[in-house]
Every structure is written in structure tokens, then in C-alpha cells.
Structure 1
Amino acid sequence: MSLDFKLSNLLGTVYRQGNLLFTPDGTSILSPVGNRVSCFDLVNSSSFTFTYEHRKNISRIALNPQATLMLTVDEDGRGILVNFVRRTTIHHFNFKERVSDIQFSPDGRHFAVAAGRHIQVWKTPNRNDDRQFAPFVRHRIYTGHYADVTSITWSNDSRFFLTCSKDLTARVYSLIATDSSAATILAGHKDSVISAFFSQDQETIYTVSKDGALFEWKYISKPKRLGGSTQSKEEAEDEEQDEETDLDANGNPIEYKFRWRIVNKHFFMQDNAKVRCAAFHAPTNLLVVGFSTGIFGLYELPEFTNLQILNISQNDIDFVTINKTGEWLAFGASKLGQLLVWEWQSESYIIKQQGHYDAMNSLVYSPDGSKIVTASDDGKIKVWDAISGFAIVTFTEHTSAVTSLQFSKKGSVLFSASLDGSIRAWDLIRYRNFRTFTSPHRIQFTSLAIDPSGEVVCAGSLDDFDIHLWSVQTSQLLDRLSGHQGPVSSLCFGNEGGLLVSGSWDKTVRIWSIFGRTSNVEPLQLQSEVMSVAMRPDSKRVAVATTDGQLSFWDPELGKQVGNIDGREDIAGGRHLTDRFSAANSQRSKHFTTLCYSADGSSILAGGNSKYIALYDVANEVLLTRFTISRNMAIDGTVDQLNSKNMTESGPLGLIDTSGEASDLEDRIDNTLPGATRGDASVRKVRPAIRTTSIQFSPTGRSFAAASTEGLLLYSVDELLIFDPFDLDIDVTVDTTLEKLAEKDYLIALVMAFRLGERSIIHQVYESIPFQDIELISRDLPQVYLERLLRFISSISEESPHIEFNLLWIQHLITYHGRFMVQRRHEFASAMRGLQKFVSRIGKDIIKLSRTNIYLIRYLTGGVATIDSSLLEGMDVDSDEQENREVVPTNSMGVEHEEDEDEDEEDGWFGPESRTEGINGKSATSGSDDEGVSEAEEDE
């Protein structure tokens, strides 16, 4: 089993805080998810997560115009420069202040950072420049604001940039030192200025304030009167303020012939709603504004024409941005974790994703590995596509926290257990709840197990010591298994024999035969409370995790222990913020809470209330590797050492409430109930703790998923074939391989490509083989390369457009080597599951396509006969010409089908039977059915 598992994606969390960013081509969007960055491809419906991590949650991200360098900054001002193409970290840097905005110039040579009250402009690292000691070289620091800077906007020529601040002003700065006279102050707003923008010709500036005011500025000689000859008192004061002159270093007034002045004032008028964010697309003059009520408005400037107003969220819209073409608008709402991309012209969503509001409790893979289902404390069940990373559907029928999930072994049926006292069965084809199981007494179910046949579902609770069994077909309670003296914490079914394993807090594990209604063996006595049980896929071993940190392995037939692993030191995590001792002396996280066997049963994954996930070899009882799920210091349990400078007389520095010092009134108001700990969760002051609540291997065995505090983490093995030096000869090179391919020695070229191990060469040789030779090459392929070829086909099948080509390879390889593969099924299990996943996806797509086009086909086949008869009746031609007339079928676009007569008769696509069959199965001609058939035969 390969141990090279690496983080490939982060699901369950699509947006946390900070800014959203479109790539320069406008087809992908970058979103900060905690201390990582996820990239969503909106065209190909796929996503991935960068593997690097920040020390704390990311607050700002920026991408240069060439899409080669990405700069991300966390809450403490620590930045990381990343090669966006290769997804590798280049440099770490500390800006030493909280960064509120960061923007690259349009030419990509500089980037500006808003750090506190100052603006730092740095030169972008460039390999063509002279070698510097540090990658970041500072150009200049700009000062002048009296409060924190909120945003930065560059001009199109990269010569000037606009800054906004909480001091109610916006300022214009020049990048060139000789243009220092161009610096000016744009004052006049009565609340914090959140955004400022240049027009396309840079002759106009638009500023947006928090109170909903939009000012239009022009570079003119003297101000224009607003509203005719009469002015209100406020407008007169604003005009007087505009007419005030600046002072030089000696205190003398500076006279300007031209200056920026307000020419128009507009107000959004959204019933006391505050403006949270704004974005401007200069080529189309579109302004998008997000409000605190979850409403966004789309306006066309300079006329201030309202194009759209839409409510898209129940909470604040924290950030909005526009792609390069101005067609897509991206919104982020941090309180609910929403990410929305809206196409305003067609008024439709490109993506509409939302993560879980609370912590996830359970996860499970679908039998084919294409879907991942997660459950959370918010009472929602989300189905995620394992390939694209997008949520497919959300179930909200449960009224309380969902604690456990299980798939039936056959079919697309999902079962869920909840604290609302119900077990629900879900149909993942029609996406509906078709069964609900309840007990005679209201108890909260916390564990769940499904019989392999899918006929019996059982559940355990922390309130009741019995195990409840229901019939899936009738929804009737069949039995209650009594015997445990404490709450049932975990349940698990074996794949054979109908054995049910239950673990309890009474320090015992019981094995039941549900069809015999008896206990198979005596209770297995342990030393501590049982947290989780897992049965090996062949039902020959049972793994038990207890609160003393031990992993014990038992034989269910003999009822005796056959192995033990001490995992206390392996799972021991970091310290919490309130701890006054080190992590080594903590006992809170030194045990496992979730277990999962691998597909072949040779290894086992274990996780708990720790930042580590341990992978053990069961046969040798040794630790193979540990995975660190997060290094985010904003979460408890990730730091190992005690930092004394963060401890004060009033407690830890991170838990001191500093909201009373906030500058905005709404940030200082505390609406929580006194003494409430589970009231309004959106304003709670508690820090989350790192933990892993559920772990599952994928059916293919090439990846596993972990439900953690950070979200749903997907770890996968690198699919590239490993270079094998033992199979390498001197004559096997890239050139010689391509020579054999040019000579049409396809089998030799394919074997040489596998011996080289270069994926690109393998792919080139594989797709160069003619489909007529696939059967011959499959028959003569050496069996040592069979597993590698199957795994390669499985890896490229998700993206390859050659569906029939891949299916032919699969068919002939299984035909000639199927018996050998059955004898060594453990070696080919992973590759075959991947192929099964590909074939099932193709089958689903074909069924969906055929269902979509069936009525169109019936219409076309029925409409052709009608048109033919009408043409023949309406035209004045001889009977001989009518008999010899050839009817040319056309599709819905009026394009003629150039098909042979033999192909038509074989396929029946536009044959005589299909021409006369209407939508209701009757003749589409004006005469009777017999007449229609005879006319069609005559036409043929």
C-alpha cells in the first residue's frame, strides 16, 4: 500500500473571510478557506486546494496580471509568495501589521499593501532583474491617512492609485516621485470610505462610503452647483469644504488651477442598510454594491441607472468582485460560509455553494466512490462530488444535529441518524427521503449500522442502552437488543454472516447474530470505555478504540484478542489556549474516536481530538505515518509549546474581548443573552478546537477523507507512475520509444513506455495505438504491466474525451486476463474500482442524455413523415417522380443528415418505423396507421 497521501482538496468549506479573486482569464475564482486557498474552475466544474498553510486565517489574496505569482496574507500580516502555476511556495515575508488590502499594479511590476494607516509599495520579484538579497524590495511608503486604510485601486496605466480610509477621505497617490503634485485629498463623505475607482479614461473618480453615498469626482477648475441655483445648507457646507485650499510646509495656501471636485452625488437608499463592499468594472461602467442586509445592487454609471437589486443571502455580503468580461459577479458571505457567482445578464447562478454552518460529525463514501456525504450539527446533510468538489444537493429534513451516516452496500440508498430521534433513508437518485424510522420513546440516536443486504437498519443511543432494529421495507421496529449496561457508542456490520458489532461505555464489545437473535460470543471485556469499533472487510477481525488510547484487535469467531497498539503518544495533540501546561502533560486528546480499515484490511486509519491522523500497519502493529490536518494557530490544539507572552493577568490574550474598542457602533454592540453558551453562534467568543470526527477510505483505496474542524479534507495518492530503475535498460530511452512508435511496433513501444515511467510518453503511446489493434495488443500484453495499464486507464478516464477507445481497452483486457485478475484480486482491486467508477459515470450520463433527448427524437422522427406527405400532396408532380423522390431527413437545426441507406435500416434512426411513429406511438401522417406505413415503405 502506498503511503504517499497528499492533500488534494478541501470540501465542506467554500469561503471563510477575506476577499475573492477572479483569475485574469475570468474562468476561475480563488477563495480563502481558513488558512488555505481553494481554486474553483467555473468552466470545467472542478476545484483544488493549495497544499501550503498559513499560521492563521487568510485575510487577503492577490494575483499578478500574468497569473504566475500569488501573494496571500494572514490576520497577523504574514505573507507567502506562491508560484501559482506549480502551486509551490517561494518566499515567506512579514509585513508586521494587519493588512486590509493588497493589489498588484496592472503592469505587474509593483504591488501595494494597505498596512494600518500606511501604504507600502513593493517591487514584484522578477527573475530578469538583478539578484537581490531578499525577493521583496520596497519602493516607498505612502502616508497621509489618519485612520486605517480600507482599500487600494490602481489606475489603468499603473501610474496612480487610489486609497480609502476610515478617516472619511480618499486620496490619490502617484507611483512616480516627480508626480508628487498629483497627490490630492477627496473629502466630503460623512462615513468611512470603503471603495474608490477610476473610470476607463481616468477622467472620473467614484467613491463609495459606508452610509450609502456615491460621489462622482471630476478634474475641473471650479465646482458646479448641485440642484440648480438654490442649495441646501449641507450642500453649501460641502462646497465650502471643497473650496478650502491646502497648505504647504510653511502654512501658506496652495492655489490650484484645476483640482478634483464633486460633480454628482447619488445615494442608494436601502433603509438604513450599510454598504459592506463594492466593485467597479471600468470598461462597462458597472458598479456592484453589497449591503448588510444580504442585498446587492447593480448600477450603471455615470447615470446611476439601477439594473438589478437581488437578495442573495440572509446575512452581510462581505465581499464582491467582477470578472474580466464583466459578466460574472462573485459574492462571499462569511457568517454562513456562502460563495455565489451570478451571471447578471441571464440572471442565473454559475455556482451557489455553502458549507456547513457547524462542525461535521460524520462522512461516508458512496459505493462507487463518486460522492461523499457529510453530516453536521446544523441538521443538514450535504452530498459532494468527489471529482469536482462541489455540493450536489443538501437535505434539511432533520430538525437537530445529524450524528451518523451509512450507505447500503447495494444501491444508492443513504441512512442518517439524528438527535431529533429519527433514522431517515434517502434515495440519492431522486434525492428524496422515502423512509423514516422512529422508536416508541423519544431518544437521541448517535450510532448507525446497515445490514449488507440492506434489509435491516439498527441504531444506538446515549440515552438508551438498547440497540434498535428496523425493517427497511416496512419501517417497522423489529427488535431491541438488550445487554449493554451503558450507552452504545458505536455500531458496525460485517460483510458476511450478518454479524453486528457494538461498542459501549460499559467497557464491553458485543457481537450479535441479528438473524439468530442471539449473541455470537461472550462480551469482550476491555479496560476502558469504547469509543469506536471497526470490522475488517473480510469480517475476520474487529478493531476497538478505547479512552485509554489503546487499539485492540479481536477475533470475532473465537472471542479473543489477537493484537494491540498503544497509540497515546501517536495521537497526542497540541495544547489549548487556556492550558497552563504543555501538550505533553495533557490527557484530553490521547485516545482515538474514529477508525477505518483500508480496502485490503492491511492497515487502519485512526483519528481523534487531535491535529494528527495515524496510519498503522495491522500485521506488524507499527505506525506507518502521521498526517497533520491543520497548523492553524487560530484553532485550539495546534500549538505544542506554551508562549508566556500571550498569558496576561486577565487570562489568555486571545480570549480577551476587544470589541468595545471598535470604531463602528454596530461592532461594539453585544446582542447575546447573559449567561447563554449556545445562543447566537455567530457572535460567540469561543475558539474552535481541532479534532477529527470521522475518517473513511474511498472504495478505490487511492484516497481517504477526514471530517475535521477545518472542513472535509481529501488526501489522495499521486496518480503518476513511479520511475522504476530496476526495469531500465540502456536501450530504453525516450527517443527509442518514439522510434518504435513511428515504426508501428505498438506493443514494444507500450512496454518501453511503462519501463521508462514517464506519464506523458505512456499517454502518447497509448493514444497512438489504432483501435483495430487494441484486441491484439491486449492479448499479448505481459501480465506484469497489466495492473499499471489498468490504473493508467482509470486515471485518464475522468478527463479523456475518448470514451469508446477506453472502453475497448477495458473490454479486451478483462476478456484475455480476467482469470488471472480474479486469482490476484487483491492486487487489482484498486484499479478495478477506478474503472468501475468510470463505467458507472458513463452509464449515468448516457441514461440522462437519452432521457433528455427521447422526446426530441420522437418529434423529429414523427415530424419528417408529416412534412413529406404534405410536400407530396401540395406539389404538382407526376406519380413517377413521387415514387422516386428521396426524402432527406433533417434535424431540429435544418441540417441534412448524410447517412447511408444501410446505416439507416440498421440503426432505425430515420428508418420506416421511426418515420411513422408519432409522439403517442401513432402514425404521424394524415391517413390511418396502415396507410402511413405503406407510404413510408413506398418512400424507402
Structure 2
Amino acid sequence: MRLNFKFSNLFGTAYKSGNIVFTVNGFGLLSPVGNQINVYDLKRDESITLKVDSYFNLRHICLSPTLGMLLAVNEMGEVSIISLITGAVISVYPLRHPVTAASFSPDGKFIALAKGHCVMLFFVPGARRQLNHLELYRVYYGFNDDVVSVDWSSDSSLFLAGSMDSTCRVFSVHRLKRLIVYTLSGHRNPVVGGFFFKGSMNLTTVSCDGDVYVWETDETLGNLRSDDEDIEKVLFRLSKRYHYISGNGCNIQSLVSAVTFHATLRMLITGFNSGLLMLHTMPEFTTISEIQLFNDPISTLTVNSSGDWIGAGCEVHGQLTVWEWRTQVCYLKAESHAGQMTSLAYSPDGLHLVTGGHDKKVKIWRISSGRALVTFSEHQAAVTGVAFPQLKAKVVLSSSLDGTIRVYDLVRYRNFRTLTVPTRLVQFASLAVDAPGSLVAGGSLDTFEAFIWSVKTGVLLATLAGHTAPISALAFSPDIAGSGIELASVSWDDTLRLWDLTGNSADMHNPASMGSVKEVVHFSHDVLSVAYRGDGKEIALCLLTGDIVFYDPNEGIEKGTISGKRDLGLAQTSEDDLITPKRAGQARKFQTIAYSADGEHLLAAGDSKYICLYSVPDRVLLKRFEITCNMSLDGVQEVHDRRRFLAHFSAESMLAKASQKCSLPIPQTRAGVDRSRREWRPEIHVSSVQFSPTGDAFAATTTEGVVVYSLASAGSGFGLGSHFGQGAQSSWLFDAVGVDEEATPANARLALAEGQQAKALDIAIRLRLQDLVEEVMEAIPADQIDFLARQIPTKQVADYVIPFLARQLGGRSRHVEFYVHWTESILRAHGLKLRRDAATWALVATANTAHQAQNACDTEGKTVEDKMTVSNPGFLTERGEWAACQASLVRLQTSLEKIKTHVIQRFETVDNLWNYLDSVAQLKAAEQSTDAVSLSSTLLPSDSLDDPTIPAALISPPVKRASNSTRGKKKLVRRTKLTA
């Protein structure tokens, strides 16, 4: 198994604090989430997390208008310069003071950072190499309170700064004789924002009490650089005053919490503490629209370059919304879990993820895009467990403290079954479901019992009693051999109980035969979690002491133990701790464990910032994944100040505690912490961890959200370079194996121009640059695809080509038929080799299992073919590439199934349209035939010949030719009728 898991995405948390910004092209939205940044691609409906790894929560982010550069400032004043082409942090500049506002100049040459009562102007780093990336140009003073907003004029010569002292000041970047600094006063309350009009020095300012002032001047931006000393100084005058009025004509009583301005459209966008959003045109202050976006204060606002989309964020519930004001439609509506997440589970196909949290909600996430598909809010208390049946990807189950276990249908997105205990109210703390999805088990928190239901009928089948403490976890045996149904339950009473549920399937109407105890295993401490290996022949349990115990349920023996207490690390949980960090670390423990698909590795996590990956056969730690370095959370800092710890036990501190002038939290409590204190920090914690069924990724629910780690060749997610003209996967993970000096993009394009398609394709695949591979593939004629597909090595097909085709067919390209042709040719040429290597991989895995069971390899009893097969395992078993290849094949199959569904729907639509047009044509033909019959019965044949409005097909020629006198009489009669 490959161990090079890398952080790939963070979802479950849409927004936390700070400001949000749109990308330059207007299709991407950047949202700070703790010490990371989520990037939402609104065009592709995807998201990815930019791993900044700041030591504190981010408060301000701003984008350069000319370069692919992002500036992120955390709450301690550290400025991180990030390249959006590679996603790497270029430099960190410590300002050692909180920053209250940040803004790039329109020409991209300067950046203004508001620090306290002053504004610092820096040169923006360029493409050339330099030692100091942020070079200070000037510092502007004069405010009596913190500066909260900075806005630039369209020519980047002036900037406007608004302060909490109810004033705004206009500063010049360079020293101008006509304007050095100009103070605009008149507001009675702190200023929220001030903005320049495009191409003018006129500006508008907004205060928190809802007053809007418009300031005008007769000067233009081009006349500021005049050196004539006789020219008067620039003067601003207050021309108009406005106040916000709601749609019913009443003044808005709530305060202004956020404001932004679109200079081109001259549109002022204002958010209020009540969650109301209003749009006005300036300087007339005409109301365009208003909408109630949230029920809580709007924390931040932004607008894209075209002015069509407005982004809004709310800190209270972590809500993020993109509103298209022209059509009055919410284009994006993302909402985080209001509380901490408690559990997660992968779908059997590895495409979706389900999470549950303290906010009583169950959310279904699409892993490829990081977006929530649906949210279920039927529970009335915290959700304690979620699960997918192993053989059913369209069914989700969840347990809650409200005493219900609910079953959801992911086809119709509804709760179609609710399971309860009919005799009494029970709080469920754990959940498990068998592989077919026919039986579900729930563990009680207060009655110390486990309950078994039938999902099909909703009938309570059995009550499993015997535990003397709350049941902490449940797990069904995989039942590979089909021998029976076995359930494992662990409890705080230091026991593991194995239950035989085979009687449930034989006699469902006889409760006496349901749920007999097979075995009771006692341990020295409380058991917190349990997990079965994939073959059902081994159980892993984590204890309160931090140990992981492996147990054989068939033989009834303990196979080994991993002592993981030291792997959890040491960290300070709170400044109010009465014990040393070393002593506090002894109380840390694992609370969740998960086996890999092959059963060779085990993930464990709990009261720590680390996720530990262990080797099961060797009982050793292979790797630790640090999920965060955000010291805004408790339990992260590893370096401690001994003087701060001793200060708690000084004479003054003891006297204060004796006089009850300070409060201490109850030990080992999280929800009971006094949150009315001025400073309260959540503690880092991992509540659940799971491997993906495909083996190429794993996910964990943490304090900051759901973190996903995946292999380099998994092919999930997208890069940031697509927003700035670069490749979607460029420079994120680069494998230099097989690359020589001639393998360059220029040589690939040159070979393509010379007609050497095979050479160009080989260079592009070896470089693994998505844009280059796409360019080369789409330039190859259709009649050459079959030939070139056979020339690609099978290893490159498994490592890159299949993931690339899965991405292209997943919605990245419009040339669906072209890439389907490539997929067919690749699978025809290499499908048999891939199947043989997969079979070889399975044979080697079986041989390794037998070797571990016997603790010796009896090579004499094997044939020559067996020796050759085991000694030549094939490339797919090297470093476990088969897991990544299998995951890519699953994604490719899903993409093809979606295309098939869309094609069938298109054909059905065309067929329905054809049937509709055919019925309309038949109806018109019937109406015409009816009209023809009525006309033929009322008109004479000779009249029909002279009437030009009657169709020629309805005219029947006369049988007998009349005489001239007869024709004249008929004409006279007809003329008489027409005259009448």
C-alpha cells in the first residue's frame, strides 16, 4: 500500500471568519476557513482547499489584480504571500500587530495594510527574486482609532481610509502639492466603508448607523500632478446625505455590518445585522433590490468583476451565499455544521461521504467537488452515528440522542424509515449496519443495551442486554464466508461482547432465538471503539489507556497490542490547566479506528492533532498526519512556557483562587466550558476516521471540518491554476520518474507540429501536465487513436491515462465522443493486461495472508508455476498501485454511466418531441379534412374554381360542361349574392 497520502480537501466548513473575495475572472470565490482557504469554482461547481498552514486563524485575504498572488493575514498580524499558480506560500512577513484592513491597488503595484491607527503602504513583490518580499514605502498617520476600510481610486494615485473614529481620510500615494491628506468628517458613528467612483475623485462613505454621505469635488484625477503653485488645493464638499429605508417606507433600525461597492456599475451593496441585503445605485441612492439572506448578521460582502454575483458570509452559522441579483437567484448556498461533527462514513463506491454533527443535521457530500448534495434535518438532538450499507450506495442511516435511528433514501432524498424502541425512550450513542443493509443495530447510552431492527419492515427484532455501562461502539462482521451474522459491541464496562444474530434470518417472529452471546472478553480498561478487518478474522479495539488491541474472534485469543499513547503527542490544552502538559498527555486516548481495504494498515485518531497510521503485521507506527497547526485551537501548541505554568501557582494566583475571583473549568469537559469568557478556544479533536473503499484516500471529522487525504495519482479535485490561465494540476505533485532533458512542453508541441503524435503524447504523459496532455490528445486524428493507444505503456495507462480520462469525461471537456473513443481504445488495448495484473495482485495477497497465518513459508510444496507467479507479482503490486488504479477505474465507470444516462435522456426527449409533433400534425390534418368536407358540402364546384381562398386539392372538376347562357345565369346569381 502506498503511504504518500497528501492533504487534498477540507469540506464541511464553508466559512468561519474574515472577508471573502472573488477571483479576477469572477468565477471563483475564496473563503477563509480557520487557517486554510476554501476556493469555490462556481463554473464547475467544485471546491478545493488552499493549504496555507498559518499558525492562527485568517482574518483578511486579498487578490492581486495583475498577478496570481494572494495575500492572507492572520489574527496575529502575520502576512502570508501565496502563489495561486503552485499553491505554495512564498513568504511570511510578521507585522506583530493585528491587521484591520488590506487592499491591493488597481495597477497591482502597491498594497495597503491598516494596522491600528495607521496605514502602511508596501511595494507588491514582482517576478524578480528579492530578499524582502514586502518592502515598506510609506506610513500614513492621523487617526484616533483603528482603520477598518481601505479603497483605491481608479488610477491608483489616491486611497481612502475609514476609521472607527467616525472620520475618513484621503491620502495620496506620491507627494502631491494639491493633495497630501484630506479629512472627511460628519458621521456620528464609526465608518464601515468608503469608496471612490470610477474615473473620478467623488466618493461615498457609509457609517454603521445607516448614514450614507456623498462627497464631490470639481477636480479630476488628471489635474492632481500639476506643479503650478498658484492652483488651489483640492476641496471636497458634502453634496448629499441619505439614510437606509426599507421597502415599506420605514427606517431600518438594525446596524450596518458590511458594505461593498462596484465602481463600474456604481452599485452600493449593504448588509445589516438583521441579515438584510440592500442594493442601491449611486449617487442617486435608488433602491435596486433587497433580500433577507440570513437570520443573523452579515459578516462580509464582495462582488465579482462583472457585478452579477454578490458573495455574502455569516460567521454565526458558517453560511456562505452567492446571490445573482439580476435574476434574484442564489447561485451558491453553502452551510457548515453549526457544531462539531461526530461521525462520518464513505459510500460503497467511494463517491460520497455522509457526516453527522451536534447541530442535529446529516449532510451528504460529493467528494470530487466538496459540495453538499442534501441536508437532512429530521433529528431533534445531536447525531451520534452515520453509516452506509456495504452493498447499497443509495441508503444512509443515522442515530441520534433523540431516541431514533433514521433511514434515508438518496434517490428521492427523503427519510423513509424511522426506527425506535416502542417501550421506552432510549438515547443512541452508536450505530452499525450489516453489509446487505437488512439489519441495523443501535447502542444505548442510558439503558446499556443494544437493539436490532429489520430495515425492510422496521420491526424491532431483538434487545441485547448484558453490558453494565454505556455502549461505545458496534460493528457487524463482514461475513465473507457466509457462516452467519455476528455483531461486536464494546462498552465502558471493560468488555467486548460477540453476539450471534444468525437466528434473526431464520426465525424473525421468535424473539427467543434472536441474539445469543457467543463470547465475552474482559479488558483492563474501558473500550472506546471497535473495527473488523475486511475478512472478518480480526478485531481491533482501542482502550482508554491509548492502547490498540488485536483480537481473533475465531480462535478467541489476543493477537497483539500497540501502545499508542506516546504517538498522540504532548500539547497544552488550556492556560488554566492545573497539571503539566506531560501529565495531561497521559490522559490522551484514541477514540476512533479504521482498517484499510487490504487489512494491512490501521488508522487511529482521537484527542490529538495527529492521525496515526500503523502497520498491523509489524505493530509499528508508519506515519503521522498532522491535521492542523492552528494555535487558535487548544491542544495544538507543543512548545510550552514554563514560566506561564508556574505563574498559576504563585502566591497571587493562589490568593485569587482562594477568594473565588477566578473560575476554573471542570477537567475533561468541552461543552461545559464557560463560553461567556472573553476568550474561549475550541479544542482540537478527531471524532471519526474512515478509509475510502477504493483505498486511495481517507477522511476524518475534526474540529475544523472534514479533512480528506488522498494519493497523488487518485485524480480527485482540481488546481487553482485554472483561474489564472495555468493547468488545473500544474506543479501540485510532480513525479520526475521517466523524465529526461528532452521531455519539455516545447519539445512536445514541436513534435506535434512535425506530425510525430506518438512522441508528443509520450512526452506529455511523462510530464503529467493536464493542459499539455489535453492539447496533444485533441490534436491527434481519430483514425490514429487505436494505434497510439496500443503504444502507451500499461504502467502509464494505470498511473495517469485512466485518471485523466475519468476527469475529462467527468465534465472537464465538451468533446465527449472523442474521449469515449480514447477510453474504448485504451481498454481494448490494455484491459486484458490490467485484469491479469489484478488477478496476480489477489494471488500475492492470498499468499501473504497464508504466510502470516503459518509464520513460515513452505516453498517445497509449491509448484514451479506458483513460484514464478509469486516471484513476478507485476507492476500493480509495487507500492500498492492497484488501489489507485481501481479508484480511477471506478471514477471512469461513473463518468461513463452519467454520459449514458444523459444520452438516454436526450434520446427520450427527442422521441417525446417527435411524438408530440407527430400528434400535432395529425390533429392539423384531421382539422383540414373536416374543413374540406364542410366546404365541399356547401360550395358548388364552379364556385370553387373561381374562389382563390380554397385550396386546389379540395376543388373537384365539373363533370359536365354547361352552356354559355347557363354560365351567365350562374354568374349573375353569384354576383347578386356577393352584393347582398
Q: What is the TM-score normalised by the length of structure 1?
A: 0.81
Deviation at 1:484, TM superposition (A): 2.4
Matched, 1:804 2:820: yes
Question: What are the ranges of 5 or more consecutive residues in structure 1 without an aligned counterpart?
Answer: 222-253, 656-675, 876-940
Which of 277, 280, 284 is equivalent to 1:299? 280
Paired with 1:615 and 1:329, the residues of 2 have a C-alpha distance of 43
Paired with 1:132 and 1:808, the residues of 2 have a C-alpha distance of 51
Structure 2 match to 1:278? 259
Structure 2 match to 1:526? 523
Structure 1 match to 2:493? 506
Q: Secondary structure at the match of 2:165?
A: coil
Aligned residue type for 1:599:
A
Deviation at 1:595, TM superposition (A): 0.6
Paired with 1:780 and 1:118, the residues of 2 have a C-alpha distance of 65
Which of 554, 557, 568 is equivalent to 2:551? 554
Deviation at 1:304, TM superposition (A): 1.0
Structure 2 match to 1:32? 32
Q: Confirm or deny: 8 A CA contact 1:569 1:590 kept in the other structure.
A: no
Matched, 1:266 2:242: yes
Matched, 1:821 2:838: yes
Structure 2 match to 1:492? 475
Structure 2 match to 1:156? 154
Paired with 1:556 and 1:102, the residues of 2 have a C-alpha distance of 61
Deviation at 1:716, TM superposition (A): 1.3
Residues 1:793 and 1:539: Cα distance change in structure 2 (over 3 Å) = farther
Q: Confirm or deny: 8 A CA contact 1:589 1:610 kept in the other structure.
A: no
Alignment of 1:162-561 (within 5 A): 162-179=160-177, 181-219=179-217, 259-269=235-245, 270-411=251-392, 412-439=394-421, 440-496=423-479, 497=482, 498-516=485-503, 517=514, 521-561=518-558
Q: Secondary structure at the match of 1:99?
A: coil
Structure 1 match to 2:707? 713
Q: Confirm or deny: 8 A CA contact 2:809 2:895 kept in the other structure.
A: no
The worse-fitting range, judged by mean Cα deviation, of 298-307 and 830-839 is: 830-839
Residues 1:558 and 1:325: Cα distance change in structure 2 (over 3 Å) = same
Q: Confirm or deny: 8 A CA contact 1:414 1:428 kept in the other structure.
A: yes
Paired with 2:585 and 2:746, the residues of 1 have a C-alpha distance of 60
Residues 1:818 and 1:96: Cα distance change in structure 2 (over 3 Å) = closer
Paired with 1:206 and 1:680, the residues of 2 have a C-alpha distance of 43
Kindly provide the CA deviation profile for residues 324-356 of structure 1, in whole angstroms up to 9, marking residues without a partner as x: 111111101101101111000011011000100
Percent identity, aligned pairs only, is 34
Residues 1:418 and 1:850: Cα distance change in structure 2 (over 3 Å) = same
Paired with 1:36 and 1:64, the residues of 2 have a C-alpha distance of 18
Deviation at 1:433, TM superposition (A): 0.2
Deviation at 1:107, TM superposition (A): 0.7
Kindly provide the CA deviation profile for residues 509-566 of structure 1, in whole angstroms up to 9, marking residues without a partner as x: 1222211446575322222111111111111211111111111111121111112211
Q: Confirm or deny: 8 A CA contact 2:6 2:709 kept in the other structure.
A: yes
Alignment of 1:613-632 (within 5 A): 613-632=611-630
Deviation at 1:359, TM superposition (A): 0.2
Q: Confirm or deny: 8 A CA contact 1:580 1:642 kept in the other structure.
A: no
Deviation at 1:290, TM superposition (A): 0.3
Kindly provide the CA deviation profile for residues 449-473 of structure 1, in whole angstroms up to 9, marking residues without a partner as x: 1111211101102212221000111
Q: Confirm or deny: 8 A CA contact 2:789 2:822 kept in the other structure.
A: no
Deviation at 1:584, TM superposition (A): 2.7
Deviation at 1:784, TM superposition (A): 5.7
Q: Secondary structure at the match of 1:259?
A: coil
Paired with 2:681 and 2:440, the residues of 1 have a C-alpha distance of 37
The worse-fitting range, judged by mean Cα deviation, of 856-865 and 731-740 is: 731-740
The worse-fitting range, judged by mean Cα deviation, of 501-510 and 582-591 is: 582-591
Structure 2 match to 1:692? 686
Which of 899, 916, 937 is equivalent to 1:862? 916
Alignment of 1:20-99 (within 5 A): 20-99=20-99
Structure 1 match to 2:590? 592
Q: Confirm or deny: 8 A CA contact 2:23 2:30 kept in the other structure.
A: yes
Q: Secondary structure at the match of 1:843?
A: helix
Aligned residue type for 2:632:
A
Aligned residue type for 1:149:
V
Deviation at 1:809, TM superposition (A): 4.2
The worse-fitting range, judged by mean Cα deviation, of 412-421 and 193-202 is: 193-202
Paired with 2:749 and 2:105, the residues of 1 have a C-alpha distance of 46
Deviation at 1:579, TM superposition (A): 2.5
Deviation at 1:286, TM superposition (A): 0.6
Deviation at 1:386, TM superposition (A): 0.7
Kindly provide the CA deviation profile for residues 564-594 of structure 1, in whole angstroms up to 9, marking residues without a partner as x: 2111111134111223554333246532100
Deviation at 1:816, TM superposition (A): 6.8
Kindly provide the CA deviation profile for residues 137-167 of structure 1, in whole angstroms up to 9, marking residues without a partner as x: 1111101111111100000000000010111
Deviation at 1:807, TM superposition (A): 4.3
Q: Secondary structure at the match of 1:585?
A: helix
Deviation at 1:843, TM superposition (A): 2.5
Residues 1:732 and 1:204: Cα distance change in structure 2 (over 3 Å) = closer
Deviation at 1:834, TM superposition (A): 2.9
Aligned residue type for 1:495:
P
Paired with 1:76 and 1:841, the residues of 2 have a C-alpha distance of 45
Q: Secondary structure at the match of 2:502?
A: coil
Kindly provide the CA deviation profile for residues 836-867 of structure 1, in whole angstroms up to 9, marking residues without a partner as x: 23323442464367558745641343214634
Q: Secondary structure at the match of 1:607?
A: strand
Paired with 1:180 and 1:76, the residues of 2 have a C-alpha distance of 37
Aligned residue type for 2:841:
R
Paired with 2:807 and 2:301, the residues of 1 have a C-alpha distance of 37
Paired with 1:197 and 1:730, the residues of 2 have a C-alpha distance of 52
Q: Confirm or deny: 8 A CA contact 1:582 1:641 kept in the other structure.
A: no
Which of 627, 631, 634 is equivalent to 2:632? 634
Paired with 1:202 and 1:457, the residues of 2 have a C-alpha distance of 68
Aligned residue type for 2:40:
F
Alignment of 1:715-730 (within 5 A): 715-719=709-713, 723=735
Paired with 2:796 and 2:263, the residues of 1 have a C-alpha distance of 57
- Give the count of matched residue pairs: 819
Residues 1:742 and 1:540: Cα distance change in structure 2 (over 3 Å) = farther
Paired with 1:150 and 1:527, the residues of 2 have a C-alpha distance of 58
Q: Confirm or deny: 8 A CA contact 1:15 1:337 kept in the other structure.
A: yes
Which of 684, 701, 711 is equivalent to 2:695? 701
Aligned residue type for 1:293:
S
Residues 1:303 and 1:736: Cα distance change in structure 2 (over 3 Å) = closer
Aligned residue type for 2:275:
G
Alignment of 1:886-925 (within 5 A): none
Q: Confirm or deny: 8 A CA contact 2:806 2:895 kept in the other structure.
A: no
Aligned residue type for 1:219:
T
User: Which structure has the higher relative contact order (CA within 8 Å, separation 6+)?
Assistant: 2
Residues 1:849 and 1:302: Cα distance change in structure 2 (over 3 Å) = farther
Paired with 1:838 and 1:19, the residues of 2 have a C-alpha distance of 38
Aligned residue type for 2:688:
S
Q: Secondary structure at the match of 2:193?
A: strand
Q: Confirm or deny: 8 A CA contact 1:589 1:609 kept in the other structure.
A: no
Paired with 1:32 and 1:153, the residues of 2 have a C-alpha distance of 21
